[in-house]
Structure 1
Amino acid sequence: MSTFIEQLKERAKKDIKTIVLAEGEEIRTLKAAEMVKKEGYAKIILVGNPDKIKTMAAAENLDIDGIKIVDSENSEKNEEYANVFYELRKKKGITPEQAAETIKDPSYYAVMMVKQGDADGMVSGAIHSSADTIRPSLQILKTAPGTKLVSAFFIMNVPNCEYGHNGTFIFGDCGLNQDPTADEVSEIAISSAASYKQLIQDEPRVAMLSYSTYGSAKSALVDKMQEATKLAKEKAPELKLDGELQLDAAIVDSVAKSKAPSSDVAGSANVLIFPNLDAGNIGYKLTQRLAKAEAYGPILQGIAKPVNDLSRGCSAEDIAGVVAITAIQAQS
């Protein structure tokens, strides 16, 4: 486990938060819950059938004693949660009966726990799609005040890496917005910078990535990142942000001196903003597999309370890491 994640765990221990894991009947989730319990940086709630969860844990010799388990099918909170959900969605045509049935879904139930203050954050996605995690979050929690766009990022921790912040980067958006407009890219950049500062406690240096540096190529793709850079600088002039930059110009000082010598970001970027989901998803997976990097996410930003998605290829260690990240978000 990276020093970065260990530091987050220590920060989480200073103000213990309760994180609900919606996929309590999934073995990686149970292993992660045991890890968190042993290290003591968050309180865990598992959603699922208690008998099934305990049987699975016993079969793997996992110690989950003392971890709260709630059954979304038969919870004492179901009526309360259903009533709240009905009030939130009745203008969309939902009936009380539909609300009561919907809230039995583990993802909806877990998000409602966060809404009602019964948990501080939620993590899901090991066996569910991003849509299954994000949809209930937007329906129940809504967006944070002042937020125009919900987006997703990955925290990448690259071993033995001289770039970024001791090998740590934020990559955005690598999990949610497929083909964002220039304005949407600018919003992703600003949100990602704020997330970097919150989680990594270092000054963000944001690179707006392209296959072009400072107009070295001409196309609509380049135009979009140039416009996104312009808009982001207008909205957040205090940020160290520049573009459009090729990846090597963004992180390698010697290349930056050649391609963008006047930039105060080139050569030292730690927040990398991709032009679309194709590039972002490919970029983070290349880094994860070829550089043996730890990838935590997709972490959501812009939702009113902390809810985080997981890659379906995640490990138990990855889930435990995202719990730490979610706990830090909840402290804010």
Structure 2
Amino acid sequence: YWKQYYQIMQRKGISEEYATREASRRTTLIGALMVKNNDADAMLCGTIANFDIHLRYINEVIGLRKSVSRYATMNVLILPGRTIFVCDTYVNINPNAEEIADITLLAAEEVRRFGVEPNIALLSHSNFGTSKDASAQKMSLAREIIIKRDSTLKVEGEMHGDAALDEKIRQRIFPNAQISGEANLLVMPNLDAANIAFNLMKVTAGEGITVGPILLGSERVVHVLTPTATVRRLVNMSALCSVDAITNR
């Protein structure tokens, strides 16, 4: 494996000595090389160390899918009465409108793989133009870009979180909204908002089942967990990996 890693990285400042050392001790790197060589169908990593370290090895060895310009992550909270998808929880720190659109389209594709039709809310501190702040305008512009790229998607925003999850509130504020019922895919304006919101929901939801982070955009089936991942989440993600690996063969 070290020879292959060296071939990939030799023009990026990596020596044979470094490649030999890293490919013998970095489990995520080893796993990524196994997946690339079809010695493994999928990979779960991330229970130790920072997310960015694992994503770096994945990007170096496996890379992005064709026609995809960036990675993103999505977490899922399955509750007795609803299922909520939240993005981008770990990768893009402060995406612009075009990047928000990329993230949303990747997430919507994955939501459909769960057998759910995405009902998308682009969240903000602003409700349908009440603020001209750059962050609010970014989310509004992202909606326009998304619609141009996939007119079949049900997407609305920018809006508050309560308007996304409560149709009565949304109808009172903006009766001409292009989504109905509860939004199930919540797209946040930045990583802070997504990560904080999901972790708060996860803790306060009680008996809800959490899935993720689901890595979006990778060429192969690989996902980066977090050090707080429970055994149950590992089992859930293993099942997701298995289904994805079979589907992608």
Q: What TM bracket, shorter-length normalisation?
A: over 0.9
Question: 1:98-123 deviations in whole A, cap 9, x for unaligned?
Answer: 21111111111011110100111110
Name the amino acid aligned to 1:290.
T
Larger CA Rg, structure 1 vs 2: 1
Question: 1:224-258 deviations in whole A, cap 9, x for unaligned?
Answer: 11111111111222211111121111121211211
C-alpha displacement of 1:266: 4.8
**1:324 lines up with 2:234 in the alignment:** no
Q: Which residue of 1 aligns with 2:159?
A: 245
Which of 18, 26, 33 aligns to 1:98? It is 18
Which of 181, 184, 194 aligns to 1:270? It is 184
Which of 74, 89, 92 aligns to 1:174? It is 89
C-alpha displacement of 1:192: 0.4
SS in 1 for 2:105: helix
In 2, Cα distance between equivalents of 1:176 and 1:298: 10
In 2, Cα distance between equivalents of 1:172 and 1:89: 31
**1:220 lines up with 2:220 in the alignment:** no
In 2, Cα distance between equivalents of 1:206 and 1:329: 23
In 1, Cα distance between equivalents of 2:181 and 2:92: 27
In 1, Cα distance between equivalents of 2:242 and 2:173: 40
Name the amino acid aligned to 1:93.
G
Q: Which residue of 1 aligns with 2:77?
A: 156
Name the TM-score, length of structure 1 as normaliser: 0.71
C-alpha displacement of 1:260: 2.4
Please, what is the CA RMSD of the aligned residues? Answer: 1.3
Percent identical residues? 27
Q: Which residue of 1 aligns with 2:3?
A: 83
Which of 62, 83, 108 aligns to 1:193? It is 108
5+ unaligned residues in a row in structure 2: which ranges? none
Q: Which residue of 1 aligns with 2:229?
A: 314
SS in 2 for 1:232: helix
**1:141 lines up with 2:62 in the alignment:** yes
**Contact 1:260-1:266 within 8 A present in 2 as well:** no
SS in 1 for 2:64: coil
5+ unaligned residues in a row in structure 1: which ranges? 1-80, 162-166
**Contact 1:153-1:171 within 8 A present in 2 as well:** yes
C-alpha displacement of 1:93: 2.5
Name the amino acid aligned to 1:301.
L
Q: Which residue of 2 aligns with 1:205?
A: 119
Q: Which moved more, 1:289-298 or 1:139-148?
A: 289-298
C-alpha displacement of 1:295: 2.2
Greater relative CO (CA pairs within 8 A, separation 6+)? 2
Name the amino acid aligned to 1:135.
R
Name the amino acid aligned to 2:12.
K
C-alpha displacement of 1:271: 0.7
In 2, Cα distance between equivalents of 1:285 and 1:250: 18
Name the TM-score, length of structure 2 as normaliser: 0.94
C-alpha displacement of 1:264: 2.9
Which of 193, 196, 213 aligns to 1:282? It is 196
Q: Relative to structure 1, is the Cα distance of residues 116 and 300 closer, same or farther in structure 2, using a 3 angstrom cutoff?
A: same
Question: 1:277-312 deviations in whole A, cap 9, x for unaligned?
Answer: 111011101110111232222110001001111121
SS in 2 for 1:295: strand
